Amino acid sequence: MEDKTYADTFFVLDFDRCLGNTDRFHQILERVITEETSLTAEEIQTGRRLIEEVGKSFDTISFMRKSLKDRGSSTSWLDIQKRFVEQAKKEDVHQPFANELLAMLDKMDIPYGIVTYGGETWQLAKLEAAGFLSIPHIVTNIKEKGELLSGWRRDDGFIIPPALTKDFRPLRVKKIIFLDDKAVSFQDMPEGVVGVHIQDPSGEVLPSQAGTLPAGVTSVTGLKGALELLF
């Protein structure tokens, strides 16, 4: 019988700007918020710009909640979220070649999971809108994901936590292939992890993405570049 507790390779996939089109999510949520509340698009865009200019991730939900609370509004996030998910499912919110990458991993029976940084409510809303909630996932507040992966390191490889496996059982693997768009994510990356840095095909580099990559991390252009490199 095949040993389901061991695999040679495990893929750790980032979500924002890797699998999911973060800008499209913001546009959809911004549209829903301005339709359902008194907040304007300009207010949201200004709030986002001020946060992202200092290299942080903008949590639209937290911004919306605080702004509406300050105005004494009774609008519920659950109502906004429902509309957001409904609208997002009508649009293409996946990054180019995201579906091809996932299909390739499924075809080759390579286990994978999503490790995404940010506020849990907003990250889970985007995962639901993208149709990715069925993919094992972890929402973390640790920017240096390499540090997180170091905690999985063992003498003979890695132990993937149950939250990232389809049967919710720990999985022993020999190596990890890690895809992310932010340089800081690769800091403290342990031996045995293959780091693949996903660059935007447009050449744009956001403050949150900028930084020096550790030795051994390979930069590619978009997920198409990752597919060409890895398969």
Question: How does pLDDT run across 132-162, given as a tens digit for each residue?
Answer: 999 999 999 999 999 999 999 999 999 999 9
Give the mean model confidence (pLDDT) for residues 46-72. 82
Which phi-psi region, left, alpha or beta, contains residue 126 (left: φ > 0; alpha: ψ -120 to 50)? alpha
Share of the chain above pLDDT 90, in %: 71
For residue 76, is pLDDT > 90? no
Residue 1 placed within a domain: no
The structural domain count of the chain equals 2
* CATH for 185: 3.40.50.1000
Q: Which two tokens stand for residue 175?
A: 């190596």
pTM of the model: 0.90
Question: What pLDDT does residue 64 have?
Answer: 82
- Given 57, 88, 119, which residue is the final one in a domain? 88
Do 36 and 15 belong together in one domain?
A: no
Length of the chain: 231
- Which residue, of 45, 62, 88, is where some domain finishes? 88
What's residue 1's pLDDT?
40
Confidence of residue 4 (pLDDT cuts 50, 70, 90): low
pLDDT in tens, 174-200: 999 999 999 999 999 999 999 999 999
Direct distance between the N- and C-terminal alpha carbons of the chain, in angstroms, rounded to an integer: 28
Comparing 10-19, 92-101, 201-210, 214-223, which segment has the lowest mean pLDDT? 201-210
